[in-house]
């Protein structure tokens, strides 16, 4: 866990290695309610010109979100996440997620994300997140009914 107090631009997040299993691709597709056959039916994917099933964008988004909150800790609130996909994640490949802090302002940090696999860049993106110190208590996750109290903080803290 890293509070933003100890986070500085240029910090690199420890990489997260994600084995791209068939199970992960299918589980992610179904958990995101994406029933496109190219995400679960290898034969259908081949008929559409893809060598195999491949990960859907929602799963990539979820994995990036997990990578960020795993690193920044339970008081992380993700504000923005923008990702762009490149080389597909096929079964049997491995994706390594990496992150670099690009800006810190108060409790808010911007992180540049890349995820590389055997074919190249699967994902590149930018995240904006806020880490609220536990003693500040008023995080939306832990005190859901106090969300209005946190709103000014969020608006004030979110850089453009």
Is residue 35 close enough to count as binding another protein by CB under 8 A? yes
Q: Using CB under 8 A, which of 1, 8, 21, 36 touches another protein?
A: 36
Q: How many residues does the chain have?
A: 160
Is residue 103 close enough to count as binding another protein by CB under 8 A? no
Is residue 136 close enough to count as binding another protein by CB under 8 A? no
Is residue 30 close enough to count as binding another protein by CB under 8 A? yes
Dist CA 76 CA 69 (whole Å):
6
Q: Using CB under 8 A, which of 2, 62, 100, 112 touches another protein?
A: 62
Applying CB under 8 A, the site for another protein has a residue count of 59
The window from 7-15, 36-44, 98-106 that contacts another protein (CB under 8 A) reads 36-44
Is residue 1 close enough to count as binding another protein by CB under 8 A? no
For 59-62, the CB contacts below 8 A with 24+ separation are 59/24, 59/25, 59/28, 59/29, 59/31, 59/32, 60/85, 60/89, 60/115, 60/122, 60/123, 62/28, 62/31, 62/32
């Amino acid at each position: 866990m890293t509070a933003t107090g100890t986070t500085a631009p240029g910090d690199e997040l420890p990489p997260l290695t994600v084995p791209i299993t068939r199970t992960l691709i299918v589980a992610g597709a179904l958990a995101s309610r994406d029933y496109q056959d190219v995400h679960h039916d290898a034969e259908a994917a081949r008929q559409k010109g893809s060598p195999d099933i491949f990960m859907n964008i929602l799963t990539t988004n979820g994995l990036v979100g997990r990578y960020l909150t795993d690193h920044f800790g339970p008081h992380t609130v993700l504000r923005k996440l923008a990702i762009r996909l490149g080389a597909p994640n096929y079964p049997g490949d491995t994706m390594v997620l990496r992150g670099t802090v690009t800006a810190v302002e108060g409790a808010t940090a911007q992180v540049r994300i890349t995820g590389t696999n055997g074919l190249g860049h699967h994902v590149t993106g930018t995240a904006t997140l806020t880490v609220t110190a536990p003693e500040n208590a008023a995080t939306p996750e832990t005190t859901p009914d106090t969300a209005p109290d946190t709103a000014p903080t969020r608006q004030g803290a979110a850089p453009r």
